[in-house]
Structure 1
C-alpha cells in the first residue's frame, strides 16, 4: 500500500492577488481622512474659487470661466489622485517597512502595482462624479448630452489615471525618503498645473511654457477635457486649431508605456535596495 502523495496547492495568481489588493488599498485609503478629504475637496474647492471669483464672466462668447476651467480642474484632480498620491504613498510605505513585509510575503510587484491602479481608478471615478455634480448644480456648467463626448471623457480619464499611477510608482523610487517625496512631488505637480493651462487660458501662456507643457500628460489631459465640456467651435482657439484627439491618445499611451518601463526598472521594496 503506497502512501498518499501530498501536493502543495498552487500559489494564487498575480491577478487574484491584485484584485484582493484593490480592496485592501481602498480600505487603507479610506482610513486616512486627510488623504480622502484632500483628494475629494481640492478639485471642488478649485471649482468654488473659480466660480466665485469669475462668476458669469466669459472666456469667449458662450463659454464661461467655470465651464472653461472645469476641464483643467478635472485633469488636475486625476493627476493628484494618481501621480501625487501614489508617489507620496509608496515612499511612505517604503519608509515604514510595509513594502519590505510585502516582499517577504512574496507579493508580486505586478500585483502590488495592480492594486494601486485599481484603487486610483475607483477613487478617480468618485472624485470626478462629485466635481461634475458641483459644477452642474451649483455653477450651472452645462454637461455634455452627446455619448461621444462622454466616451472621450472616459478614455482621457482612464489614460491620465494610468499614466499618473505608473509615473507615481516610478518617481517614488527616485525621490528618496517620504519627507523628500512630500516636498518634491507636490511642487512638481503645482508647476505642471501652471504650465498646462489649469489656472490660465492655455493659449495666453508664453510659447516656451506651452512647448514645455506639451511634453507632459497633464497638458493633453486638460485639452482632452476641454473637448468634452466646451462647444465644438472652441477647438479653433486651441494652439493647433483642433482638439487633436489622436495626438492626445498617443501621448497618454506613450506615457503609460514609459512610466511602466521606468516603474519596472526602478521599483524597490526597500530604500537603497
Structure 2
C-alpha cells in the first residue's frame, strides 16, 4: 500500500477535522437551537405573507420571489460570518499559532474549516427547503431537474463566498474587528441586493450590487424556481444564468487563490510574542 503524500495526508486530516467539528455542532443544543429558531422564524414569516401579491409579477406572491433571495443571503451570512468569526477567534486564542507546528498545517486548517462550514449550513437549508412545497406551494416550474439546479447554485454560491469569510477573518484578526470590517458590509450588501426580491433593490444600487456574488446567486436561484414572465422583475428584464454562473465562478477562483495566500501570511505573523501581547491587552481590557 502506497504512503500518502504530505498534501494528501493534510487534506484527509482536514476533512476529518471538519467532520468532527460538524458532529460537535450537532451535539450542541445552542447551535441546533439557533438553526431551528431562525429557520422556523423565516418559514412563519413567509407563510403569513403567502397571500401578498407582487405588483407586475403576473400573480407571484412575496414568498415565491423572496425565498430564493433569503436562501442566497443565508449562504452569504453563513459562509462569510462563520469562517470570519471562527478564524479571528482562533488567531486570538493561539490555535493558528499551534498550526505552525504541524506539517502542512495551513492546508489541514483550511480544508477543515471549509468542510465544517459547508456541513454546518446543511441543517438550515434542509429546514427551509424540505417544507417549501408543502407550505408555500410547489416552486419548481422546471421539473425535478430544477432541484438539481438549485443544489448546483447553492454549491457555486458557497465556493464564491466562503473564501471571503476566510480572508475577512484573517485580515480582521480579532472578533471585535469582524463586526465592523466584515459583518457591517455584508449586512449592507444583503439589503441593497434585494433580499426580498429584485423589486426591492434601490435604483442607484442596481449597478454596484451586480459586482458582488449575492445578487447573482439570488438571480440564479430565481431563474430556476420562478416561471416564465417573472424575469420582468429583474435588472435588465431578463434571466442571465450564464452571466450569474460566470460571476460566481470568478469570485470562487479568485477567492480560492487568495485565501491560502492570506492564511499563509497570517500563519507567518503568528508568533508566541504576538499572542502574548494580545492576551496581555485582553486582560488589560
Q: TM-score, normalised by structure 2?
A: 0.82
SS across alignment from 2:250: helix
SS across alignment from 1:106: coil
Q: Does 1:19 align with 2:12?
A: no
Contact 1:23 1:119 in 2 (8 A): yes
Instruction: Give CA deviations for 1:128-162 in whole Å, capped at 9, x if unaligned.
Output: 12102243333335345613322321221011112
Tell me the CA shift for residue 216 of structure 1: 0.8
Q: Does 1:76 align with 2:73?
A: yes
Relative to structure 2, which stretch is displaced further, 71-80 or 204-213? Answer: 204-213
Out of 124, 129, 134, the residue aligned to residue 126 of structure 2 is: 129
For structure 1, which runs of at least 5 residues remain unmatched after alignment?
1-7
Match of residue 46 from structure 1: 42
Tell me the CA shift for residue 65 of structure 1: 0.6
Relative to structure 2, which stretch is displaced further, 257-266 or 212-221? Answer: 257-266
Match of residue 56 from structure 1: 51
Contact 2:58 2:229 in 1 (8 A): no
Cα distance in structure 2, aligned partners of 1:103 and 1:45: 42
Cα distance in structure 2, aligned partners of 1:221 and 1:16: 30
Out of 165, 168, 178, the residue aligned to residue 168 of structure 1 is: 165
Match of residue 139 from structure 1: 136
Q: TM-score, normalised by structure 1?
A: 0.85
Contact 1:144 1:150 in 2 (8 A): no
Q: Does 1:229 align with 2:225?
A: yes
Cα distance in structure 2, aligned partners of 1:40 and 1:212: 34
Cα distance in structure 2, aligned partners of 1:63 and 1:10: 54
SS across alignment from 1:101: helix
SS across alignment from 1:243: coil
Quote the RMSD (CA, aligned, Å).
2.6
Match of residue 145 from structure 2: 148
Tell me the CA shift for residue 48 of structure 1: 2.2
Relative to structure 2, which stretch is displaced further, 233-242 or 79-88? Answer: 233-242
